[in-house]
Amino acid sequence: MIPISLPSMGQEEWEATKEPIFSGWITQGPKVAEFEKIFAARHKVKHAIAVSNCTTALHLALVALDVKQGDEVIVPAFTWVSTANAIMYCGAIPVFIDIDIKTFNIDTTQIKSKLTPKTKAIIPVHLFGLCANIDEIKKMAPNLKIVEDGACAAGAGIGDRPAGSLGDIGCFSFHPRKSVTTGEGGMLTTNDDQLAERLNMLRNHGASVSEEQRHKGPKPYILPEFDMIGYNYRMTDIQGAVGIVQLKKLDQFIDERQKWADYFTKELSSIPWLHAPYIPTNYKHGWQSYVLFVDETKSPMKRNDLMEFLQQKGISTRPGTHAVHMLGYYKKSFNIKPTDYPGAFAANEYSMSIPLHNKMVKEDFEYIVNILKEIK
């Protein structure tokens, strides 16, 4: 079985965990700080703030922007459920927008029609590692705060501008399906000093200083002040140590994935019922996933039957992700019909991710291509 994804980790990551384990400093500390520093440098931002996962990053981003009960936040209808859930955590209302089926990203032409006096922010998703068109979003809604959901997009960018530097706050994931991983884990990025200070406090219960700062200070026995309600969304130093090693491999990982994504695109172009990922000019894809669109009007079998066939042939697949408006809670709570967002509906029904990760070898890629070409 060729898995849909597999983290690329080994001896170097294992060795890195020993220092925090033997030092006794396991919670957020110097390794997290080092990880934050190099992540910020790689993504060309002033501040990076590590957290427990990307969902908590999204939540903190909205809290830091003072999104609260009754506010509206625009979000694409086709994304992982946590993007919308984070809005609900704040008591705010997710306002869904359809996607551009070519890119699977938010359809920027629909933004203006969704703006109301209650609209507080927008969360464009850099889905599968392809950045949303942030420049166009700024034109459509110049006064709106932008939270980039870059869960899939570490190392991606537009021109020389990396994901996470394009909006007000960026949010990243280090889940094992991502190109670099810390097991679980997330990162916030921003160029705003005040937002960075607020995010730093919010992730640590609202404390005025971190545990590391307090323990290294002249009076470690004095507890910090708590002037705001915060959360325990910290990353551990064990994860930070792994993240340092992984991040140093990020560009190598993406280059390898780009090479094999190009191979897939070239080799599968002869199959008329499979549409390869679309990449706009001057965009650098992060290739968290390679997601095809299955045209069932031409395909010899339906998308789900195709996935079952490939599973039997030892090839793991998944839908790209899901249309949030079609999930039980959101469908019932907002009284939404599946076809209210036709692009998201189509992506939900016809997208298919095939294996693309750094543990694969040439024979894996060739086998996948050959099996798909044999389907008549």
Total-model pTM: 0.95
SS (H, E, C) the chain: CECCCCCCCCHHHHHHHHHHHHHCCCCCCHHHHHHHHHHHHHCCCCEEEEECCHHHHHHHHHHHCCCCCCCEEEEECECCCHHHHHHHHCCCEEEEECEECCCCEECHHHCHHHCCCCEEEECCECHHHCCCCHHHHHHHCCCCEEEEECCCCCCCEECCEECCCCCCEEEEECCCCCCCCCCCCEEEEECCHHHHHHHHHHCECCECCCHHHHHHCCCCCCCCCECCCCCECCCCHHHHHHHHHHHHCHHHHHHHHHHHHHHHHHHHCCCCCEECCCCCCCEECCCCCEEEEECCCCCCCCHHHHHHHHHHCCECCECCCCEHHHCHHHHHHHCCCHHHCHHHHHHHHHEEEECCCCCCCHHHHHHHHHHHHHCC
Class of 11-249 in CATH: alpha beta
Mean pLDDT of 248-258: 98
- How confident is the model at residue 312, as a pLDDT? 98
Q: Using one digit for the tens of pLDDT, what is the confidence trace for 3-25?
A: 999 999 999 999 999 999 999 88
Q: Using one digit for the tens of pLDDT, what is the confidence trace for 354-368?
A: 999 999 999 999 999
Q: Using one digit for the tens of pLDDT, what is the confidence trace for 325-352?
A: 999 999 999 999 999 999 999 999 999 9
Tell me which of 3.40.800.10, 3.10.20.310, 3.90.1150.10, 1.20.1440.20 is the CATH number of domain 251-374: 3.90.1150.10
- Stretch(es) of the chain classified as CATH 3.90.1150.10: 251-374
> Given a cut of 80, is residue 136 above it in pLDDT?
yes
Q: Using one digit for the tens of pLDDT, what is the confidence trace for 150-206?
A: 999 999 999 999 999 999 999 999 999 999 999 999 999 999 999 999 999 999 998
CB 241 within 8 A of CB 185: no
Which pLDDT band holds residue 214 (cuts at 50, 70, 90)? low
Which pLDDT band holds residue 223 (cuts at 50, 70, 90)? confident
> Given a cut of 70, is residue 123 above it in pLDDT?
yes
Which pLDDT band holds residue 226 (cuts at 50, 70, 90)? confident
Which amino acids are annotated catalytic? 178
- Stretch(es) of the chain classified as CATH 3.40.640.10: 11-249
- How confident is the model at residue 215, as a pLDDT? 62
- How confident is the model at residue 225, as a pLDDT? 81
